[in-house]
Chains A and B, each alone.
Chain A
Amino acid sequence: QKEVEQNSGPLSVPEGAIASLNCTYSDRGSQSFFWYRQYSGKSPELIMSIYSNGDKEDGRFTAQLNKASQYVSLLIRDSQPSDSATYLCAVFNTGNQFYFGTGTSLTVIP
């Protein structure tokens, strides 16, 4: 079982819709969770971090964490074509190890 799993997609949503990206992790004791965005041919950039159960909002982005289900998600409201990218979930686990998922490719259709 992989430490962090994501649906590779591609996920396509129309402009203005809500994009929902999901991630599961295997280490139940993990405490830190991150979402990175990576445009094609570019480096990853951090967009959200979350440490507690519940929702965390930042502009059009909302991260949701459910530790009981070992599940973290990212919602993008009012999706724009500029949001088209690969979204990487990352987890810092109890063994002080840091893992990325393989990413979900998102395409926002104008």
Chain B
Amino acid sequence: DAGVIQSPRHEVTEMGQEVTLRCKPISGHNSLFWYRQTMMRGLELLIYFNNNVPIDDSGMPEDRFSAKMPNASFSTLKIQPSEPRDSAVYFCASSLPGTGFNEQFFGPGTRLTVL
């Protein structure tokens, strides 16, 4: 079975550029989560969707960040404009109906470097 798929795996960009991270959840999963991990702040929940609807985006750091889930099999996290402090590993996770946070499966992550 394919797990959560994220692309790209690595992204290097310059300050001010737009960055789009992509995630394909596990088929049949109806909850999707975006996280950011840094050494200083650890793993932080940015936003999560249930049945393609954003439920809680209180973790999104600022308006430069936006996330969409146009269908059950695809989500994007966009940063525009990017800044060096956005450098981190961004993880996407998904879970089965009824399990919510209880059984999250994480993707391999996207390592973002903003110069």
Q: Which residues of A contact B48 (CB under 8 A)?
A: 98
| Alpha-carbon distance between A49 and B100 when the two chains are bound, in angstroms | 13
| Alpha-carbon distance between A46 and B56 when the two chains are bound, in angstroms | 22
Q: Which residues of B contact A103 (CB under 8 A)?
A: 42-43
| Given known contacts A88-B43, A99-B45, A100-B42, A44 and B102 CB-to-CB distance under 8 angstroms | no
Q: List 13 A-B contacts (CB under 8 A).
A: A32-B101, A43-B107, A44-B106, A46-B104, A49-B102, A49-B103, A88-B42, A88-B43, A92-B102, A97-B45, A97-B56, A97-B58, A103-B42
* Residues of A bordering B, CB below 8 Å: 32, 34, 42-46, 49, 88, 90, 92, 96-103
| Given known contacts A92-B101, A97-B56, A98-B101, A44 and B43 CB-to-CB distance under 8 angstroms | yes
Q: Which residues of B contact A34 (CB under 8 A)?
A: 101-102
Contact residue among A45, A98, A101 (Cβ-Cβ distance under 8 Å from B106): A45
Closest Cβ neighbor of B91 among chain A residues: A43
* Residues of B bordering A, CB below 8 Å: 41-45, 48, 56, 58, 91, 101-109
Q: Which residues of A contact B101 (CB under 8 A)?
A: 32, 34, 90, 92, 98
Given contacts A97-B58, A98-B101, A100-B42, 11 further A-B contacts (CB under 8 A): A34-B102, A42-B108, A43-B91, A43-B108, A46-B105, A49-B102, A88-B43, A90-B101, A99-B45, A100-B43, A102-B42
Contact residue among B45, B91, B107, B108 (Cβ-Cβ distance under 8 Å from A98): B45
| Alpha-carbon distance between A103 and B91 when the two chains are bound, in angstroms | 16
| Alpha-carbon distance between A43 and B58 when the two chains are bound, in angstroms | 23
A100/B44 in contact, CB under 8 A: yes
| Alpha-carbon distance between A97 and B101 when the two chains are bound, in angstroms | 10
